[in-house]
Copies of this chain bind each other. A is one copy, B any other.
């Protein structure tokens, strides 16, 4: 077989602010590979099919002299990221030709696992709704585990803390996103009334499609009016994102809290019924030891954190005997892994659980998608389709 192009995405320049496509990250088609001839040295050869584009990648695009919780990309070398590939040659008995694998793609992926796709799902689902956390995560970078856990976050939070009873009313803010949309569907399957809010008409339509009873755009409709008109809520599920970002001149990683804002908090507390529950799901893209370091630094004041000011209705937590559950998946690692895949995979396969992805075709588009994710312009989980199966 004659050599073919072995496309790569290179980290070419450390960005000063947003990563610039074609400058920070460049697509390189100069390398070729002869699939039959390349020396495997006991390893495997993978055809990359899908790549996950995630916010944490920005943290790696920095001067390696600057310490952070993830190792820096090296200028002139390939980017790496979570992805799915197909084994096309193997000298490793753990992998067979034709296996689909999940893990850190390109150049010395330190660990890969074979996907059990008995339900014949689109492979990209394993980077989105069925993203693999816990024991399924193999890729480690300097002790850090990378994962996409919106599905497990929604499922575990719901199982652990909803105490859902048929007929109750749950309010899901950011209900159009990957965590919120799954919570909406889990709630509907248990017979709850669901009120969902989102920040665009397109997301409102998606919430309607997946079964939310009352949907509204919080930018154009008053949350308080809706919640009170609907007779109050037994539960509020919200998503808080902690995104590690690098400030231009700062040497430390900063987090910012991308939640729905103090006003929604006050509205939800006002509409809460006695003994209601609040489940606040946190999402952190890169964590474990790195996460702990980050938290530890934050606690000891070495990180300049944006502070959060809440007021007015917080006493409602007490006077209404509310319970607020903070939640990040890592503290429940493994608890629902088996159940999650056993229950959710067939539901995703049958279409009973819906999800959304934003798939962009072409490895040369990586730079554009990285920028869109950093700007928050993606409408769903961002995935690059590198090749057809």
Give the B-binding residues of A (Cβ under 8 A). 161, 240, 242, 255, 257, 270, 274-275, 280-282, 284, 295, 299, 305, 307-328, 331-332
Contact = CB atoms under 8 A, between A and B. Distances in A.
Task: Give the most central of A240, A318, A321, A323: most B CB within 10 Å.
Answer: A318
A370 B291 CA distance: 53
B327 A325 contact: no
Contact of A321 (B240, B275, B305, B332): B332
Nearest to A306: B315
B309 A305 contact: no
Nearest to A308: B314
25 contacts: A240-B318, A242-B315, A257-B315, A270-B299, A280-B317, A280-B318, A282-B318, A295-B320, A308-B311, A308-B315, A309-B309, A309-B310, A309-B311, A310-B311, A310-B314, A316-B326, A317-B324, A317-B326, A318-B328, A319-B326, A320-B328, A321-B331, A323-B325, A324-B325, A324-B326
Nearest to A322: B326
A255 B220 CA distance: 34
Contact of A326 (B242, B270, B323): B323
Tell me the dominant secondary structure on chain A's binding face. Answer: mixed
Contacts of A275: 331
Contacts of A280: 317-318
Nearest to A161: B323
A275 B332 CA distance: 9
A315 B259 CA distance: 11
Copies in the complex: 2
Contacts of A318: 240, 242, 280-282, 326-328
Per CB-CB distance, the 7 closest pairs between chain A and chain B, nearest first, are A317-B326, A282-B318, A318-B326, A321-B331, A324-B324, A307-B311, A322-B326
A327 B331 contact: no
B326 A320 contact: yes
B328 A319 contact: yes
A311 B317 CA distance: 16
A67 B332 CA distance: 51
Nearest to A276: B326
A270 B324 CA distance: 17
Contacts of A161: 323
Contact of A295 (B284, B307, B319): B319
Contacts of A305: 312, 315
A270 B295 CA distance: 10
A302 to B, nearest CB: 13
Contacts of A324: 317, 323-326
Contacts of A311: 307-310
A234 to B, nearest CB: 13
A299 B318 CA distance: 14
B307 A312 contact: yes
